[in-house]
Amino acid sequence: MDPNGMGGIINIILKDDIIEGFHSSTSFTYGNHNRYNGLLRLSYKKKKIEFELTGFGKSDFSALNSEREYEWQYDSFSLGSIQKKSTTGNPLTGGINFGSTLNFSDRNILHLGSFFTAFNHSSRDSIHRQFFDPPVEDDMTSNDNKRGWNLDASIIHALKFSDDNSLTTTAALAQSGEHQKEINDRNSIGTGPNDHSHIYQDDATETKEFESVYKTKSPRFGMIQGGASYQSLAINSELEYLHAPYGFDFNEQVSSGYFRVQKSLKNMLSSLSAGIRIEQRETSTGVYDIELPDSHQHTDTSNVFVALIDSSIANSPPAQTVRYLYPELKTGFTSMDKKLSIIMKYGRRINRVKLAMINPFPVSMIDEYHVRKGNPFLKPELADIYQISFSFRLNTKQHPMFTGNIFYKDIQDLIQWHDVDFVTINEKSFEILTAGNVARGKSVGYDFALSLSPTKNIRMILDYNNWIKKTSGEGETDLIGNSSGSIADAQIRIAMPWKVDFELWYRRYGKHKLPIGEIAPYYYVDLSLGKAIKDKNVYLTLAIHDMFNSRIMDIYTEQAITNPTSGATYIQKLNATKYNEQRLISLGVQFNLSAFPTMGQSKRDRINKPDQPDDIDVDY
């Protein structure tokens, strides 16, 4: 599923190892909290034609809790508040995937692919907020429903003029639509008004892509590759709040061309490649009021949400045309016995902005004192990446093998997600969370992995990566400074007697330091058992995600803030906790009629865990 329509384009190329005839495979997984995941896959191959059809349906569940304790320290007194939030959701997703391959000849192949998805996501948020001085309590609820669709289609034509000359052309189109309805209620205990509001939002996204790549081989220069591409992105978002409609448009066109040369030096077991890419990016952004045919609309300038949207309308970014240059250089070496391999490379990369980063409309309107929204002025970040990778094995077989990767990044306009600003309305201060650019950023890190197979039935993978990032420039204190973190992974897979597969997966996040605080270490463990029956035509699984309910994030931040109303400076301290309410348990069965690979051979897909990022809650 890709609700934002940004993910691209689904290109479907059927597997060459599927034998002729009709084949089918089906699987079904059921878990606690009425979760299920069903899949049906069909294929047909005869001579020069291949077809594949896949249908799926999925119902998921999430129960996320968070607590935030604020303390504001002034010179002679302090204030405090506690907020508790509970979010439960039941996302429903279904889709159909169709692909075909036409082999006109061994040198002329056409691939067609399409992917349709529909989704209906319902969630409920509950917040209890308590201020100690003066004593005020608020109970807020939000019922949110998002439903929509995605449609991706692509055509790939591969033409070989000779063994050394080929042309590949790709054309693709992706469209999506989403409707969101949010109903918010606030009941005050003590002082303050009650509130009830309805919010409606419609998003439409369209992505187009065309690319052509030509490859040839020269005895002197080696492999020569050149290509051109065009991509366009159009986003339209309409929001209705307090019967006042607003619009947001974003359009992006990216045209590029590149050239690359790769030369292999067989006598030295090494290679050298160099390339360059030239790109032009044109963008236009607009935030505006939508005129109504009648005057039935509410205007409440004391409302922080209306004030933020009005500010975005008054300060919409102008249209821009920017050109980028992306050089790349890569060299590699392999030892004579092929046990050691080293690759050194340099390249420039771009991290483009996405809809959630730039949409000026608030993500949620349940809590006006802590509002998350996008930044229409956000620029993409450019990174010059220097990297050394190596792999070493004791023999030419796969295991044991040790791999490593060391990198250094010099980043321009680095994007920081946690940019805190404050606005004042009627002598009240409201916290605004958005994304912001930092002038410069430098990052260094490494990743080491060890793969072992003590016996033919046991496989172990150990992985550890660590990074340090430093940001600098003229900016706010919550954006400038040092940050660091680490992740350790361990995985063991055992083929047990009676055709039982055992898999244990462990991940630990080390202390994550932020410019204004830190996230305490935490870990979680996933467990999976699989059983093959009838020569692996039937495969049963039992999976437990977050077996010990240990996926708990404890966040602490501290920063100096100047009150925009009084001019006084105070220290804001925040202790926050984010955790899932319950572990997830799933039972699954797959039945294969013929040539498809067994689901039991996949790694962690059968755990059927929800899609949840391991980072700070950007929605609240």
Least trusted range by pLDDT, from 74-78, 394-398, 445-449: 394-398
Q: What's the pLDDT band for 362 if we cut at 50, 70, 90?
A: confident
The CATH number of whichever domain residue 182 belongs to comes to 2.40.170.20
Task: Tell me the residue range of the domain where 56 lies.
Answer: 21-607
Rounded Cα gap, residues 157 and 166, in angstroms? 11
Q: What's the pLDDT band for 596 if we cut at 50, 70, 90?
A: very low
pLDDT of residue 477: 63
As a whole-number percent, the residues of the chain with pLDDT over 90 amount to: 52
Domain presence at residue 617: no
Q: What's the pLDDT band for 185 if we cut at 50, 70, 90?
A: confident
Least trusted range by pLDDT, from 3-7, 161-165, 372-376, 485-489: 3-7
Domain presence at residue 557: yes
pLDDT, one tens digit per residue, over 253-304 is: 999 999 999 988 776 668 899 999 999 999 999 998 887 665 554 455 457 7
Reply yes or no on whether the pLDDT at 3 is more than 50.
no
Kindly report the average pLDDT of the chain as a whole number.
85
Secondary structure string (H, E, C) spanning 486-532: EEEEEEEEEEEHHHEEEEEEEEEECCEEECCEEECCEEEEEEEEEEE
Rounded Cα gap, residues 421 and 573, in angstroms? 15
Domain presence at residue 105: yes
Please indicate whether residue 314 or residue 154 has the higher confidence score (pLDDT).
154
Q: Is the pTM of this model over 0.75?
A: yes
Domain presence at residue 10: no
> Could you tell me the CA-to-CA distances from 90 to 36, 77, 120, 227, 542 in Å, in that order?
11, 44, 9, 44, 22
The mean per-residue pLDDT over the stretch 172-196 comes to: 79
pLDDT of residue 610: 39
The number of distinct structural domains making up the chain is 1
pLDDT of residue 293: 61
Domain presence at residue 479: yes
pLDDT of residue 181: 92
Q: Is 242 helix (H, G, I), strand (E, B) or coil?
A: coil
Domain presence at residue 476: yes
Domain presence at residue 346: yes
pLDDT of residue 597: 44
Domain presence at residue 169: yes
pLDDT of residue 392: 92
And the tokens for 298? 């509410």
52 contacts 41 by C-beta, under 8 angstroms: yes
